[in-house]
Amino acid sequence: MPQATTVAAERGADARRARKAVIAGGIGNFIEWYDYGVYAALSPVLSKLFFPAADPVTSTLASFAVFGVGFVVRPLGGLFFGQLGDRRGRRTALGLALIMVSLSTFAMGVLPTYSQLGLFAPLLLVALRLIQGFSAGGEWTGSATLMVENATDGRRGWVASWQQFSVIVGQLAGILIVTVITNVWSEQVLRDWAWRLPFVIALVLGVVGFYIRFRMEDTPHFQKLQKQDIVAAAPTRESLRTQRRAMAAAFLFVALPNVGFYTFLTYMPTFLNQEGGLALSDAYAVNLVGMAIYAVLTPVVGRLSDRYGRRPMLIAHAIGFLVLAYPIYLLLAQGSFTLALAMQLPALLLMSLYAGPGTAAITEMFPTRLRYSSLALPYNLSSALFGGTAPFVSTWLIATFHSPLAPAFYTMVVAVPTLLVYLKLRETAHEPLRDA
């Protein structure tokens, strides 16, 4: 009986530690992608405030170019925070990343517009996006590492899926707030001052998140390395020497998910408004419903991946986009609110087949000693190349080929190398984490 009580107590402690990791890791992700959601949802407004031009396509391209510029420095942020996280601990790196994103997002909300400051306004906007991008370089990979290393064997898919859940809910919250203010106030009021509100809120969220993160201990796996005195002295250099093959696979692993996420979720309100002819409020409403579906499905699929494995779901994710991207875009472009709403389900079901198992699967590819650094560089390079450019590329392809279906073919092309990586992936759902 005492032995059974001890086992139950240990399981309870493990569950509490995992819950704390989910909250501590998720809060930074929430703020980071809350900002991305707000910026993307407000892009039709921001493009006119910061990039006024006679041609609306030119303004939109400029707005999405600034959205993408933050991704340019994400690999640098990944190098910095990956090195810091593997040498000094996950908590230290994640605390600094949270401070940077909270302050830069708040600053965006008090930024003068082009009419008030001229050319300096978009230049300052670019500078703030660079800071946000740099901090994001350590946020996603750091929170993924934090959650996976605090999860028990057999539950890593479930625990890590909440990392992606926090990303989705962050964007969902951003889009929800934009949806509310576009319905409450007129377009003129929105342009005058109401657009600032969503950005200013980030400061309050950042204070709460900072408090939560610094009350948490580092992960048991990292503490084990510290006790054994085998923490990597130069983790990035060692990763590039010993983890090259896994890092190359990780780069392509997230190529399709990045394109899917930043087109079907970030770019979609603009697409539905400009190509489908839906009112902005209807476009935001469609995206809002889709995000909610995505958020609900992600932990469910994550738990299923613990039982049935990561590979089957990841493979279905890539094949699904190869087959269904064209018909999904075809129906989204019809200008029907009902059709657009209906198409969210298959698109986001396919996305959830990555979001559920993907965080655990890609994190399990690397040993604890080098995990943060090994994951940060390829993930952020892929995000910069395929994610941050996705809204810009989609807008450019449509303008160049005069077809709203052009982004579908882009998605299908990117799906091919990602599928090849999934097919060669070793199943890690039922294996313990490697520490060294």
Which residue's entry shows tokens 């910095």?
80
Give yes or no for a contact between 243 and 370, defined as CB atoms under 8 angstroms apart. yes
**Contact residues for 6 (Cβ-Cβ < 8 A; gap 6+):** none
Q: Angle of helix 2-41 relative to helix 56-72, nearest 10 degrees?
A: 140
Distance CA 41, CA 132 (A): 17
| The pLDDT of residue 7 | 53
pTM score of the predicted model: 0.86
| Type of residue numbered 365 | M
Give yes or no for a contact between 315 and 423, defined as CB atoms under 8 angstroms apart. yes
Residue 100: exposure state from Cβ atoms within 10 A (0-12, 13-18, ≥19): buried
pLDDT in tens, the chain (436 residues): 456 566 556 667 777 888 888 888 888 889 888 887 788 778 778 888 888 765 666 667 677 677 677 788 999 999 999 999 999 999 899 999 999 989 999 999 999 998 898 888 888 988 998 998 899 899 999 999 999 999 988 999 999 999 999 988 988 888 788 878 888 888 788 888 999 999 998 888 888 888 888 788 899 999 999 999 999 999 999 999 999 999 999 999 999 999 998 888 778 888 898 888 898 778 878 888 888 888 999 999 999 999 999 999 999 999 999 999 999 999 999 989 999 999 888 998 999 999 999 999 999 999 999 999 999 999 999 998 998 788 889 989 999 999 999 999 999 999 999 999 999 999 999 999 998 7
- Closest by CA position to 175, among listed 8, 40, 332: 40
- Closest by CA position to 309, among listed 151, 168, 164, 431: 431
For residue 186 the two structure tokens come to: 């007129």
Q: Angle of helix 2-41 relative to helix 156-184, nearest 10 degrees?
A: 30
DSSP string covering 230-261: ---SSHHHHHHHH-HHHHHHHHHHTHHHHHHH
